[in-house]
Structure 1
């Protein structure tokens, strides 16, 4: 299963968001995960949309992620909530 997380942040908070995401990603890599970060190419009205991608996640991932995000300081730089979506690979 894969987890996709998106959130919004003010463009002027980009440096702080990147610092928090670096801390978050470093912590998760130490747990054996290989996270990716993307963002939309253009801000809209000074707001950016960010995407975290986590592939092949363990069963307790959501709890681990919540704890790690809290420790990273990311919550203080985002607008609204982080949205988690889960997908599984389908063989066709």
Structure 2
């Protein structure tokens, strides 16, 4: 299983609207795919921009495509400043 970390910037004036959209999206995807989701942001803003991070833990194959489709359908790109950046992490296998 993998964990997804997606970060991007949000204009301060779009923050409230986007928070509602992402929260609903995460609730829906969590129920459909059985993943735990978190939404975080850096505490400071810079030049009117906030940096946000979505975290999805223990995702399975195909989740990324479902997430991308949900983000497109929700119109997230219209409320962010620039691209969404994704990072994928897997658990380390303990050495015997």
Do both proteins adopt the same fold according to a TM-score greater than 0.5, normalized to the shorter chain? Answer: yes
Paired position in structure 1 for 2:10: 9
Paired position in structure 2 for 1:30: 31
Deviation at 1:73, TM superposition (A): 2.4
Larger radius of gyration: 2
User: Over the residues paired in the alignment, what is the CA RMSD in angstroms?
Assistant: 1.3
Which stretch of the first structure deviates more once superposed, 38-47 or 27-36? 27-36
Gapped runs of 5+ residues in structure 2? none
Gapped runs of 5+ residues in structure 1? none
TM-score by length of 2: 0.88
User: Structure 2 matches for 1:36-51, cutoff 5 A?
Assistant: 36-51=38-53
Distance in 2 of aligned mates of 1:8 and 1:88: 25
4+ long deviations beyond 3 Å:
none
TM-score by length of 1: 0.91
Distance in 2 of aligned mates of 1:18 and 1:73: 13
Paired position in structure 1 for 2:21: 20
